[in-house]
Structure 1
Amino acid sequence: MNRRDILAGSIAGVSAAATLAAAGAASAQTAATELRWRMTSSYPASLDAVYGAGEIFIQVLGELSQGRMQIQHFASGEIVGGLQALDAVQNGTVECCDTSPFYYVGKDPAFTFGSAMPFGLTTRQQNSWLFQAGGLNLLNELFGRYNVFGLPIGNTNAQMAGWFRKEIKSVEDLRGLKMRVGGLAGRIVAKLGVVPQQIAAGDIYPALERGAIDAAEWVGPYDDERLGLYKIAPYYYYPGWWEASSTIFLLINKGRWDALTPFDQALMRVAAQDAMTLTIAKYDQLNSVAIRRLVAGGAQLRSFPQDVMDACYKSANEVFAEIGGENEMFKRLHDHLTGFRNEQNLWHQIAEYSYQTFMIRSRKL
């Protein structure tokens, strides 16, 4: 990959200019400190966009450190299964992983906020919440309880709701539907009669093919096309209300992170920011092309009926209240994010939404 100026921008108050300025002073201290880590992934290497966030981070970190800091990337299943990535980092089997934190809602439902709260934030709003509004600090308070430290390294942007064998025309059509759905969304749709399944990416197609599930969501057009789900379930629904955006995290063993020098921590933050920026851009570019190919190949685009969306929103708020009554950290994160979301949506309605609505309509003029 040809690199541009990978140090443009800043993250967590550590600007690239400051990093470069500090490099001379820190070189004597860090020159002899080499880093050789292993990173296990929750994603197969064939899904090059989501898996690629970790690849970009590793490459940029190597360049920033002039080869002193090297991380070896292992796809899902090479060391541990995709859904065991956090466990491997917690217990020190590997130093870090790239993953979607909401895979671990079984450990703690508050992990959902590390990826996406259902009916939550768009990508830009999520980044603002993480880096400006204190969301990342709250998440690292949660992560610390599980012996890890987190840095966001990407976002899939708004996702699709997935592939269905039959059309969903009403809430009644959800009853008894066996569906692969990630994170807390499974608990929400279960209230409406769906039978949720937590299945790793590489196992979704076989499960759909043999009829073990009736529907499956993964990410969006580009990644879904690579999994081949359209070959079995033709109805492609939107919006993916459980992931209006979905953050990809680098989770690092807490002891390993704390042992790094402040300078090396700064290098990791800058590399994470670059991976975030490029992954978001990659998904925007690739999804717009992939959705055209999918439709040309027979995919039937469908939007959820309004009564289905309303029922899901009601169910989501019931689940949030139930969990918040039992889990103090979940309630803190939910209240913090929801207040931020409400302010953001008011502003975006005035500026972004009105502009985009006009521009989308103008395509027909």
Structure 2
Amino acid sequence: MDRRFIIKNAGIAGVLAAGVAPAVHAQAAVRWRLASSFPKSLDTIYGGAETFAKKVGEMTGGKFQVSVHAAGELMPAFGVVDGVQQGSIEAAHTAGYYFFGKNEAFAIGAAIPFGMNSRQLTSWMFEGNGLKLTREFYAKYNAVNFPCGNTGAQMGGWFRKEIKAPEDIKGLKFRIGGFAGRVIERMGGVPQNIPGGEIYQSLEKGTIDAAEWIGPYDDQKLGFNKVAPFYYYPGWWEGALQLDLLVNQKAYDALSPEYKAIVETAASEAHVVMQARYDARNPTALKQLVGAKTKVVAFPKTVLDASFKTAMEVYADLDKNNPDWKKIYGDYRTFQKDQLLWSRFAEARFDSYMQGVQLP
């Protein structure tokens, strides 16, 4: 019997009765290349892309494969947005604030000084207007964004000398990620936007005076305690750093609805897993750093107050000059105010009490 005749004339019931399985929802094998902004040695933050790729493969029975490439393999760490926009790669895993030089609004969905913590930011993204607003913005760059990891609140970084007052920021050559450099610069510092894999050498050679990366686990792996004695906290510029999966719009549109859902689900899995890994690994690393004579020091309140005041001045200027920033930031701050009002009662009070007791 002619197979084409059956399919043409029998209808779906006849096709099934004849034992011919129609591929109504089948999608051909998909192969994506994903460029990371991070080195492989940082298994936590680079690992976010690996978690995503692994889940996509598992949920499609291996039919959708994503190859993950470390910073520098396909393109420089800070070239991934251009790569996605131009379609030379299908996807990237990065921190939006690296690209504030293109538009300061890139930073809002990643981390801004005195911004939301990780739970608040995730809430804004998924239950507020965060994802809607940032997707409207990323569409201008031919990309679709998905939350894909969070580091939680970060440490304030490694310093060769003590920071006792706001005046100590003046002239400081400080490796600081992304947009926060605008605040440091206005305070008289000299911000340096250096990829993670190059920070140690810059500190060791003295070409920079201080550097921040993420927190104890990653910082210990990078060896910063060997070249700078003072480890400050908190990283007021990163109450939470959200990582993004960026997907080229054409590549995303070519997916079936099922595969689109799988991309979203796998990114959400990576989002949760990354912070769980940081929360699990940072305590041990911090104890080891203290044991190795690292001097862990809190930023003085005068430094925090001066930094906050300066950050608000920067934001006021951006509200006047950048329509993209104003649209997203206004909604962000409104949401944050309600979150702060709520968290001061249950969460903050509970955490404060628990940190003051001695567990058996």
Question: What TM-score comes out, normalization by structure 1 length?
Answer: 0.91
Q: Take 2:24 and 2:258, find their aligned partners in 1: how far apart are those partners?
A: 9
How many residues align structurally? 339
Q: Take 1:107 and 1:129, find their aligned partners in 2: how far apart are those partners?
A: 24
**For residues 229-280 of structure 1, what are the alpha-carbon distances to aligned partners after superposition, in whole Å with 9 as ceiling and x for unaligned?**
1101110000101110101111011111122222211111111111111111
Aligned amino acid, residue 328 of structure 2? L
Q: Take 2:109 and 2:24, find their aligned partners in 1: how far apart are those partners?
A: 34
Aligned equivalent of 1:200:
195
2:117 to 96, 118, 122: 122
Aligned equivalent of 1:89:
84
1:236 to 231, 236, 241: 231
Task: State which structure, 1 or 2, has the greater radius of gyration over its C-alpha atoms.
Answer: 2
Q: Take 2:47 and 2:27, find their aligned partners in 1: how far apart are those partners?
A: 29
Question: What TM-score comes out, normalization by structure 2 length?
Answer: 0.92
Aligned equivalent of 2:261:
266
Aligned equivalent of 1:297:
292
**For residues 151-200 of structure 1, what are the alpha-carbon distances to aligned partners after superposition, in whole Å with 9 as ceiling and x for unaligned?**
11110111011000000000111110000001111011111111000000
Preserved CA contact (<8 Å) 2:40 2:70 = yes
Q: Take 2:292 and 2:30, find their aligned partners in 1: how far apart are those partners?
A: 47
Q: Please list, as runs of the form range in 1=range in 2, the aligned pairs for 1:132-211 lying within 5 A after superposition.
A: 132-211=127-206
Preserved CA contact (<8 Å) 2:95 2:244 = yes
Q: Please list, as runs of the form range in 1=range in 2, the aligned pairs for 1:36-75 lying within 5 A after superposition.
A: 36-75=31-70
SS in structure 1 opposite 2:270? Answer: helix
Q: Take 1:304 and 1:145, find their aligned partners in 2: how far apart are those partners?
A: 38
Q: Take 2:85 and 2:236, find their aligned partners in 1: how far apart are those partners?
A: 30
Aligned amino acid, residue 156 of structure 2? A
| % identical equivalent positions | 43
SS in structure 2 opposite 1:98? Answer: strand
Shift of 1:29: 3.8
Preserved CA contact (<8 Å) 2:90 2:247 = yes
SS in structure 1 opposite 2:163? Answer: coil
SS in structure 1 opposite 2:310? Answer: helix
Aligned amino acid, residue 159 of structure 2? F
Aligned equivalent of 2:13:
none
Preserved CA contact (<8 Å) 2:111 2:240 = yes
Aligned equivalent of 1:77:
72
Shift of 1:359: 0.4
Shift of 1:31: 3.0
Q: Take 2:137 and 2:174, find their aligned partners in 1: how far apart are those partners?
A: 29
Aligned equivalent of 1:225:
220
1:315 equivalent to 2:329? Answer no
Q: Please list, as runs of the form range in 1=range in 2, the aligned pairs for 1:326-341 lying within 5 A after superposition.
A: 326-341=321-336
Q: Take 2:29 and 2:219, find their aligned partners in 1: how far apart are those partners?
A: 38
1:360 equivalent to 2:359? Answer no
Aligned equivalent of 1:34:
29
Q: Take 2:27 and 2:132, find their aligned partners in 1: how far apart are those partners?
A: 31
Q: Take 2:314 and 2:23, find their aligned partners in 1: how far apart are those partners?
A: 53
1:101 equivalent to 2:93? Answer no
Aligned equivalent of 2:211:
216
* Structure 1 residue ranges, 4+ long, deviating more than 4 angstroms after superposition: none
Shift of 1:30: 4.3
Q: Take 1:274 and 1:306, find their aligned partners in 2: how far apart are those partners?
A: 37
Q: Take 1:30 and 1:102, find their aligned partners in 2: how far apart are those partners?
A: 38
SS in structure 2 opposite 1:39? Answer: strand
Aligned amino acid, residue 356 of structure 1? D
SS in structure 2 opposite 1:361? Answer: coil
SS in structure 2 opposite 1:114? Answer: coil
Shift of 1:28: 3.6
Q: Take 1:30 and 1:120, find their aligned partners in 2: how far apart are those partners?
A: 43
Q: Take 2:62 and 2:129, find their aligned partners in 1: how far apart are those partners?
A: 32
Q: 5+ residue gaps in structure 2?
A: 1-21
Q: Which deviates more, 82-91 or 36-45?
A: 82-91
Q: 5+ residue gaps in structure 1?
A: 1-26
SS in structure 1 opposite 2:330? Answer: helix
SS in structure 2 opposite 1:223? Answer: helix
